[in-house]
Structure 1
Amino acid sequence: MAACEQDDDSIDFLEEGEEFSGGAATVFDESVNAFGNPAPNLLGDGDLLFITGNSFFNRNWVTSPASTEDLDGLGPLFNSRSCSGCHFKDGKGQPPAPGEPLVSMLFRLSKPGKSANGGPVADPNYGLQLADRAILGVSREGTVNITYEEIQGTFADGASYSLRKPRYEFTELGYGALDDDILFSPRVAPHMVGLGLLEAIDEMTILGFEDPQDTNSDGISGRANRVWDVAANKVNIGRFGWKANQPNLRQQTAGAFVGDIGITSSLFPDENCSANQTDCQNAFNEGKPELKGSIFDKVTFYSSTLAVPKRRLWDDPVVLRGKQLFFESNCTGCHIPKITTGNSGNIPEFYQQQIRPYTDLLLHDMGDDLADGRPDFEASGNEWRTPPLWGIGLVETVNGHTNFLHDGRARNLEEAVLWHGGEAENSKQAYLKLSKTDRNALIKFLESL
């Protein structure tokens, strides 16, 4: 009877249409290509622009000078030769196995303080990002060895668990030692579905989620990051990136081109060569910007219009029980289940859509265990943007792994939950007290997203 009552209670959490996470921009695809579909509601030549943008997203850039004039200019320092090199199948990256290169993971660098635009201060030798690759004739900046320490824990029912805590060692540094006060932050590439829908959320909607003084006393005090918008030449709220340090997808795209591939653009016209990197400064350059405006536009459009996969098993009783527990544990204090987009962004087809991204796009203090200690504009060293949860249940299918969090330390969704602290400490404690059956139900709910 208790089991029946539990299922009956869960039925209240079944909502009409909730399987369409991206509203009209939802696709039904559970395959390895689930993250790579165009939004089905694109109008006009949207599909053609998407296909063209996809081709440039996947193409490898080459060293200048080259016969492929539109796709040369790689480096001199870089982390990947293509966008898809980090976002394989538009999916999620992972930390490398011991001895492997940093394929879909990078390290942001900075020194204490703020730059003129309020952002991080570049390291004088290595800039704002460690480049583990370089073109011929230029020394790469270095690489990172990653090791893990296992941390044991116990659930309230006596079951044990183990978490892995990463340790990082910078090696093979090409331009001198790192400063003693260097700040660094490991980042794996996030999956890319639904980004244009997030950009379509009105600013006032996002600011309405803020509660910096925790006025409702739930322990959660999210706040928006305020970052420099290069094109607008002013401060705007941040939406994208692990610390919400980019205001829009166009700047996010340009930042990835110059930071990850070494391709300059109209927004970021300067190469990432520090003052003492003379080989980088003297490398051949055909002029700037290297990124042709039409290609820039198409890649940005492609990144903006990737569809959100439809949920699986959304009406399954166990999934509904997990959803109920997710709500009761106040996970929704940060992971807002349902939002209606406004009229922001550059894709009118995404306006006024009811979406279920499970994010508030705000910064939250996640505790010391997840802290990187590296501020980014208004984000402190303990704060991270709430990542959208839509699509996470398909990461294993698309990318062949289940590594989560900003540095991929969590080997599965349960470990990701257990690493939560700070403002999410109460929710984590609620999870620790659940029975194994209920823990499994909550994880199954997450896997349905």
Structure 2
Amino acid sequence: MTRLPPSLLPIAAIFVLPALVLADGAGDATWRELSDVHLNVVPRTQEERARVAAIAAAPTDFSVPWPFEENSGGAQTVRARGTADAFSQPAANLTFAQELDFRVGNGMFRRLWVSAPASTLASDGLGPLYNARSCQRCHLKDGRGHPPEGPDDTAVSMVLRVSVPAPDPAALEHYIKGAHATVAEPTYGTQLQDFSLPGHAPEYRLAVEYEEVEVPLSGGEVATLRRPTYEAADLGYGPLAADAMLSPRIAPQMIGMGLLEAIPVEEILARADPDDADGDGISGRAQVVWSDVHDRPMLGRFGHKAGNPSVLEQTASAFAGDIGISNPIHRAGSGECTDLQTDCTAALDGSDPEQGGFEIDQVGLDLVEFYSRTLAVPARRDVGDPEVLRGREVFFETGCSSCHQPNHVTHRLDGDDPASFQLIWPYTDLLLHDMGPGLADNRPEGRADGREWRTAPLWGIGMTETVSGHTNFLHDGRARSLLEAVLWHGGEAQAARDAVMDLPPVDRAALIRYLESL
């Protein structure tokens, strides 16, 4: 019988919330008061808390499938399709009216935006600088993006984030205590755009070179990693600031976002151990970011460094930064253009009085948000396969589950919210972890430093090739296989990575087989 690590013992303790203060001037509010404000939460009773603790406690018998683990997204789970549409299905528990909203939101997610002025007033306002013409162009089939493969491959599903250190943190609006003080790069903003409308120069071209690195494994096996070097080439508006910090990011998969949003903040915080008080080498930290919608600090959940607090704000920032579309949260008609890009800021935009003066109004934004929140997670495959069962045991034995927390129970939400009170299996703690120098981008974001990343959810990861046509993983797609992704882990995950390297080859193969079943 395998002994479970402390992170997987019954979770009755998760409801003891640390009374931590988020930010100077925040009214001495606790994280819970600030982070769940956007959800219509029905408080759990003591009886319900006991039920949750019992349901979410991981079984100790690794010889058989565990109850409900096949249903990765709880009642939202759909059957696993063997086609590229596997990530594009509506949650299984939507009402008829909600499925209509999902379909309309899908149409807007796929909409190709055009430059203003245009006869299609509801679809104009693209750019002037942009990374893609639609949400779908980055998140093709709602799946994972990839880095450019050769000079003829555009980086449409990959962006380069940029920032510079703030000269005076105290002067920053909405500065959060404990955050790394950064501001937009003066000329290029917070994200480099590689496409532009006629008459405007694109900001850059992403160039990537790789160095092949051999890694010896037990049993005489050898893996080959590729170490990337990135260059912002062909800069269209002059040099970057000398202290500019760049971070490449591929578009993440879209499934299960509403379920991740509904995980109680106190459950996430209870697993945080920023000072490694238990001495296990794992010191996950909570990301805290400013919410423009709620005008207060909130727990960060979305993005590779958990830089957005909600699906709504993630959606709005993508419209502005990736497509150049103004909305009620990001109001500039010129999108990411900076004050130094005067032709760009002076260009005609697609703001429409019938849409509140924006290029997409709140109704449209809400529909795309609803679509993004209710994309279903496919069911697990082969849960009873003996090799998969052995791989699951290896996953726990090597310590992978310390950060990739298997299951959660979502909030009970008022009304007919499809994310309400679901046992889900996303395999993430939604915390920030130091992943070592190999994966460091050296660009802080909020409370995340240049070596920290949010634990990526693993549900659906085994269907990446089916949906996206490739097997590129990690924040920049450098890993060409699940094994390569594991071998890039360092920092807090170094011990788990070393354990995987030292496994008998048959157990290492079983681990990968297990990940492919998720």
Which residue of 359, 380, 386 maps to 2:455? 386
Equivalent residue for 1:130?
192
Residue identity opposite 1:171 in structure 2: A
Residue identity opposite 1:169 in structure 2: E
CA distance in 1, matches of 2:298, 2:78: 32
- For 1:15-164, what aligned pairs fall within 5 Å after superposition? 15-30=66-81, 31-99=83-151, 100-113=153-166, 115-118=172-175, 120-164=182-226
Could you tell me the TM-score, scaled by structure 1's length? Answer: 0.96
Equivalent residue for 1:4?
none
**Shift of residue 286, structure 1, vs aligned partner:** 4.1
CA contact (8 A) 1:108 1:184 kept: yes
- Determine what percentage of the aligned residue pairs are the same residue: 50
**Shift of residue 11, structure 1, vs aligned partner:** 4.4
CA contact (8 A) 2:84 2:466 kept: yes
Which residue of 23, 40, 65 maps to 1:14? 65
CA distance in 1, matches of 2:392, 2:473: 20
CA distance in 1, matches of 2:86, 2:313: 25
Could you report, residue by residue, the CA deviation over 1:20-56 in whole angstroms, capped at 9, with x for unpaired residues? Answer: 0000000002222110000010124000000000011
Residue identity opposite 2:73 in structure 1: G
Could you report, residue by residue, the CA deviation over 1:142-177 in whole angstroms, capped at 9, with x for unpaired residues? Answer: 111101001111113332111000001221111101
**Shift of residue 296, structure 1, vs aligned partner:** 0.8
Do the aligned partners of residues 151 and 33 (structure 1) sit closer, same or farther apart at CA in structure 2, a change above 3 Å counting? Answer: same
CA contact (8 A) 1:19 1:314 kept: yes
2:155 is paired with a residue of what secondary structure? Answer: coil
Residue identity opposite 1:280 in structure 2: C
Residue identity opposite 2:477 in structure 1: G
- For 1:135-284, what aligned pairs fall within 5 Å after superposition? 135-270=197-332, 271-284=335-348
CA distance in 1, matches of 2:185, 2:143: 30
- For 1:298-377, what aligned pairs fall within 5 Å after superposition? 298-343=367-412, 348-377=417-446
1:27 is paired with a residue of what secondary structure? Answer: coil
Could you report, residue by residue, the CA deviation over 1:403-439 in whole angstroms, capped at 9, with x for unpaired residues? Answer: 0000000000000000000000010011011011111
Residue identity opposite 1:91 in structure 2: G
Equivalent residue for 2:466?
397
2:219 is paired with a residue of what secondary structure? Answer: coil
2:230 is paired with a residue of what secondary structure? Answer: strand
Equivalent residue for 1:6?
none
CA distance in 1, matches of 2:517, 2:471: 14
CA distance in 2, matches of 1:377, 1:346: 33
CA distance in 2, matches of 1:69, 1:146: 38
Residue identity opposite 2:76 in structure 1: A
**Unaligned runs of at least 5 residues, structure 2:** 1-59, 176-180, 352-356
**Unaligned runs of at least 5 residues, structure 1:** 1-8
**Shift of residue 343, structure 1, vs aligned partner:** 3.5
Could you report, residue by residue, the CA deviation over 1:188-244 in whole angstroms, capped at 9, with x for unpaired residues? Answer: 001110000011111111111111121222110101100010011111110000000
CA contact (8 A) 1:132 1:143 kept: yes
2:218 is paired with a residue of what secondary structure? Answer: coil
Residue identity opposite 2:78 in structure 1: V
Stretch of structure 1 that moved more, 166-175 or 117-126:
117-126
**Shift of residue 346, structure 1, vs aligned partner:** 9.0
Number of residues of Structure 1 aligned to a counterpart in Structure 2: 441
CA distance in 2, matches of 1:299, 1:352: 23
Could you report, residue by residue, the CA deviation over 1:237-293 in whole angstroms, capped at 9, with x for unpaired residues? Answer: 100000000000000000000000000110010232112211101111243421122
CA distance in 2, matches of 1:304, 1:334: 23
Do the aligned partners of residues 206 and 311 (structure 1) sit closer, same or farther apart at CA in structure 2, a change above 3 Å counting? Answer: same
2:206 is paired with a residue of what secondary structure? Answer: strand
Could you tell me the TM-score, scaled by structure 2's length? Answer: 0.83
2:444 is paired with a residue of what secondary structure? Answer: coil
Which residue of 475, 490, 493 maps to 1:406? 475
CA contact (8 A) 1:323 1:445 kept: yes
CA distance in 2, matches of 1:40, 1:351: 13
Residue identity opposite 1:283 in structure 2: A
CA contact (8 A) 2:218 2:505 kept: no
Stretch of structure 1 that moved more, 147-156 or 365-374:
147-156
CA distance in 2, matches of 1:346, 1:165: 49
**Shift of residue 10, structure 1, vs aligned partner:** 7.3
CA contact (8 A) 2:64 2:384 kept: no
**Shift of residue 101, structure 1, vs aligned partner:** 1.5
Do the aligned partners of residues 404 and 347 (structure 1) sit closer, same or farther apart at CA in structure 2, a change above 3 Å counting? Answer: farther
**Shift of residue 344, structure 1, vs aligned partner:** 5.9
Stretch of structure 1 that moved more, 310-319 or 212-221:
212-221
**Shift of residue 138, structure 1, vs aligned partner:** 1.3
